[in-house]
A and B are shown apart, each in its own frame.
Chain A
Amino acid sequence: MVLFLGFQKSKNLLLPATLLVLVLTLIANFANWNDAPSLYFKGMLFENKLTMAFSGIVLLSALLIAALTRGFIDDESAQPAEYYAIMLFSLVGAIMMIGYENLLMLFVGVEILSVSMYVLTGSDKRNLRSNEAALKYLLMGSFATGIMLFGMALLYGATGSFNLTALKAYVLTNPSPSPMLYVGLLMLLIGMLFKVSAAPFHFWTPDVYDGAPTVFTAFMSTIVKTAGFAALYRLLSGSFSGAYTFWWSTLAGITVLTLLAGNITAVYQNSFKRMMAYSSISHAGYLLLSLTAMSAQSQDAIVFYSLAYSLATISAFGVLMIVGKETGVRSHEVKENFNVFNGLGKKNPLLAFVLTVSMLSLAGIPLTAGFWGKFFVFSSVVERGITWILVVAVLMSAVGIYYYFKAVIAAYMREGEAGSIKVPQFYRLVLIITTIITLFFGLLPDLLKGLV
């Protein structure tokens, strides 16, 4: 496992260096794929195929997003170098969250990631909404972290250890543990659920996603979410698998709430970006569904879903960035509405196609990666046998199709202004890559599934 600490001095290196670093890290991450699971840094970090897979998704997302930043970060801020550095720094946090073996490591990872995100959200300094979003995120985020830390403290009080393996042993050997354990677990869960924007802890999400520059919205909605779910999965499947009967009902309630809140509110959005914010809440719901089920299928389902979701989200935001910029209107209301896509099918067929594939994937239509993501999630739930929750999820996926297709309809069926949109070569390459991977895993999901 490569840690990023060595790269903090890269402040003067710009995009190419960032990309190079990310590619190298990605290679290094998978280089020891076949190694046995092992511990690093005096047992603080853990590495096996699962954590490598999650780190891979995070790094790939970061690589693609960093590649998309060209021409956007330098527009919206004066010091692009700092933002690259912060992005890389935040990845350290994400990877610590994925690979933690000790709850303290989880806490430090969450903090690193969150603090970076607070800064990036506010990076559009001249924009009031960006500043407001950053402040809101900071205030609510710190509160959530506080609760989380308190939860960890209680867990320590109950078990005498921060170590995941020790926690697991404690849960398994004590059939009736002290209430402190449960309270601690709940508080820890609340903190984490806040980070992945599950309802009812989701109220920050739309404002923050909407206010942040689109590049960082993409960053937040993919990397933070993937890392958050990796952390939750490792916590619940490992240490607290013994307490399933305790936490599953809580999580089931939150899942249903998240699915309902995310999907139903998304229907009423006029801004594409806000819709994506609510859609990210709803996807958190599907991932939570798999966590709630916690069956043999869950691990594959979560890995696959995170990848499919991240790729589709990056494409969608990528198209939004370029179309919003080319449409040329600087005010936010026009720039990020659904109608920026009007007539896109004529203006630039490639962008329209990329947008369509990403929307189909997010909606879970067959032959895209998103369908198999949903399929595996649903399978994991059926395997556990909690059917009633599945009915909610199915109804909500139908609702999802409704709002994702608003973008597709705008692109192909509504008339827009004449003219064409030029896409830089490099940018086009990134979008083509994400689309091809999405379709590829839509046809052959088996290549990824079962690998971990």
Chain B
Amino acid sequence: MLTLSLILIPLIAGVITLITKNNSAKQLALIGAAIELVLAVVIYAQFQPTADQQFGFSYPWIQSAGISFAGGIDGISILLVMLTAFLTPLIILSTFRQPYKNASTFYALILFMQAALMGVFTATDAFLFYLFFEAALIPVYFLAAVWGGEDRIKVTFKFFVYTIFGSLFMLVALVYLYYQTTSAQGHTSEISAFYKLALDAQKQGWIFWAFFIAFAIKMPVFPFHTWQPDTYTESPTPATMLLAGIMLKMGVYGVIRFVLPIVPLGLQTWGTTAIVLSVIGIVYGSIIAIQQRDMKRLIAYSSFAHVGLMSAGVFSQTLSGVQGALIQMLAHGINVVGLFFIIEIIFSRTKTRNIEQLGGITQRTPHLTVYFMILMLGSVALPLTNGFVGEFLLLRGVYESNIWLGAIAGTTIILGAVYMLRLFQKSMFGAKSTFTEHFADLSFSERAVLVPLVIMVFWMGLYPNSFLKLTEPAVSNLLQMIHY
């Protein structure tokens, strides 16, 4: 029941927000998201660190096709559920100083998005997963395309068609797998039933590619990333936060949930190719990030590089790789949302995102400087921050699988430091520019967003075990299935 409420609460809150007046919409949305967070904390407190599915629910839905409305939380989904519940109220809070037209629709779409994301991370039925996977796209598409920047229509359209195109291949793979299952009542679309299929290597190769294209576009992995920088830049910041903070994790989650256990033989043949593509993405994304002047674009490319490392870690099929990916998804979500928020703060005061035009902000803004620095260092993966744990485990995972690829992937730490420090230095230090002459420090609501994020950066950096122990049994169980 708890899991079902996770999906229903934002849905109901979204409908209520939609039908209320514009000026009370944001408060209502925040209340809805806060209730959701409380619920997620309750689940976190009750969650047992075992490999089992917990808080499960299952209702018959489309019986003639063996599809049920079933969900539950296991060690692989718990962190993502927490991430979604934690970030959404902060994303809503981050918009409080910024008026958006048609506010009730705007906030309703954010809540619908949250409901769909919760559905993706908790579904235990393959078709239900697919439905939520697609459904998550529609609210964020409208958020980006209606409230976005000048070039939004073309850019978001590309994003929408591109991602749907990818997921259609996944649909075909799911339908195919569905017809391979056998149970007492005919076929079934439970994900756990897919795990028991042992298809021959050639079929697994095909299914691997169908899944890979779908998830690689979502993450994105090189060379499927071309939609990403433009979409992140043109979207309004809350939509960018949803996209970068939570939605790209759907791709990594999908790989862990579907690709690893269902097509191990396909992975044997093609896994290295996938790691190579991911590693190319890491280096390529980082190098482009170094060249960027627009802060939002810079973070977009850094996000592309980071997700490349996560994907490489997952495809390495090692315990530390998968564990690292899970913890890094949490860390990256927190850091990237914080960084996008800081960019939005700077942009709302100076009306520019070009780092060449900024500078000298630190002088009057001790608070902003400290928060920005902590989040930046977390993103650079300095020890004792959240980024370090994830990147360390991920690099170890890739290294275990292939030393040379591990070494190349390791450049992410150096390159990451280059572009992040450059961003920080150019925008915060140096002489003041005409844009930054009157720069006010953080307001209360802005601090209310950044403080929880910074607390999480340290919590995860100092004591990662409180998260790692939740996921470990489920991950080892999953990996045992692969190495049969």
- Pairwise interchain contact A379-B65, C-beta atoms closer than 8 A: yes
Task: Decide: A413 near B160, CB < 8 A? Known: A445-B62, A450-B64.
Answer: no
Does chain B have a CB within 8 A of A54? Answer: no
- Pairwise interchain contact A378-B172, C-beta atoms closer than 8 A: yes
Of the candidates B63, B138, B145, the one whose C-beta lies within 8 Å of that of A413 is B145
**Inter-chain residue pair count (beta carbon < 8 A):** 71
Task: Decide: A365 near B134, CB < 8 A? Known: A379-B175, A413-B153, A445-B62.
Answer: yes
* Bound Cα distance A382, B138 (Å): 27
Residues of A near B51 (CB, < 8 A) are none
- Pairwise interchain contact B175-A382, C-beta atoms closer than 8 A: yes
* Bound Cα distance A401, B138 (Å): 12
Task: Decide: A398 near B61, CB < 8 A? Known: A382-B179, A390-B172, A413-B153.
Answer: no
Does chain A have a CB within 8 A of B482? Answer: no
Q: How far is the CB of A375 from chain B (nearest CB, A)?
A: 8
Closest to B127 in A: A375
Q: How far is the CB of B391 from chain A (nearest CB, A)?
A: 35
Does chain A have a CB within 8 A of B199? Answer: no
Docked complex: A229-245 residues within 8 A CB-CB of B: none
Q: How far is the CB of B177 from chain A (nearest CB, A)?
A: 10
Docked complex: B112-158 residues within 8 A CB-CB of A: 130-131, 134-135, 138, 142, 145-146, 152-153, 157
Does chain B have a CB within 8 A of A136? Answer: no
Does chain A have a CB within 8 A of B270? Answer: no
Does chain A have a CB within 8 A of B161? Answer: yes
Task: Decide: A405 near B134, CB < 8 A? Known: A383-B179, A394-B168, A446-B63.
Answer: no
- Pairwise interchain contact A405-B168, C-beta atoms closer than 8 A: no
Does chain A have a CB within 8 A of B355? Answer: no
What secondary structure prevails in chain B residues at the interface with A?
helix
Closest to A391 in B: B172
Closest to B134 in A: A366
Residues of B near A428 (CB, < 8 A) are none
Chain A, residues 270-305, CB within 8 Å of chain B (1/0): the string is 000000000000000000000000000000100000
- Pairwise interchain contact A367-B131, C-beta atoms closer than 8 A: yes
Q: How far is the CB of B132 from chain A (nearest CB, A)?
A: 9
Closest to B168 in A: A394
* Bound Cα distance A110, B152 (Å): 48
- Pairwise interchain contact A394-B157, C-beta atoms closer than 8 A: no
* Bound Cα distance A444, B138 (Å): 20
Task: Decide: A409 near B131, CB < 8 A? Known: A378-B175, A394-B172.
Answer: no
- Pairwise interchain contact A398-B145, C-beta atoms closer than 8 A: no
Closest to B132 in A: A366
Does chain A have a CB within 8 A of B96? Answer: no
Residues of A near B142 (CB, < 8 A) are 412
Of the candidates A365, A379, A413, the one whose C-beta lies within 8 Å of that of B152 is A413
Closest to A414 in B: B153
- Pairwise interchain contact A412-B145, C-beta atoms closer than 8 A: yes
* Bound Cα distance A252, B164 (Å): 25
* Bound Cα distance A278, B172 (Å): 24
Q: How far is the CB of A3 from chain B (nearest CB, A)?
A: 33
Q: How far is the CB of A410 from chain B (nearest CB, A)?
A: 10
Closest to A406 in B: B157
- Pairwise interchain contact A446-B171, C-beta atoms closer than 8 A: no
- Pairwise interchain contact B164-A401, C-beta atoms closer than 8 A: yes
Residues of A near B161 (CB, < 8 A) are 398, 401-402, 405
Residues of A near B146 (CB, < 8 A) are 412-413
Does chain B have a CB within 8 A of A222? Answer: no
- Pairwise interchain contact B64-A367, C-beta atoms closer than 8 A: no
Of the candidates A366, A390, A394, A401, the one whose C-beta lies within 8 Å of that of B131 is A366
Chain B, residues 87-113, CB within 8 Å of chain A (1/0): the string is 000000000000000000000000000
In order of increasing CB-CB distance, the 8 nearest A-B pairs are A398-B165, A450-B64, A446-B62, A366-B134, A394-B168, A366-B131, A382-B175, A449-B64
A–B pairs, 21, beta carbons within 8 Å: A300-B64, A365-B134, A366-B135, A375-B175, A379-B178, A382-B172, A383-B179, A395-B165, A398-B168, A401-B160, A401-B164, A401-B165, A402-B161, A409-B157, A412-B142, A413-B152, A413-B153, A414-B153, A446-B64, A449-B62, A449-B65
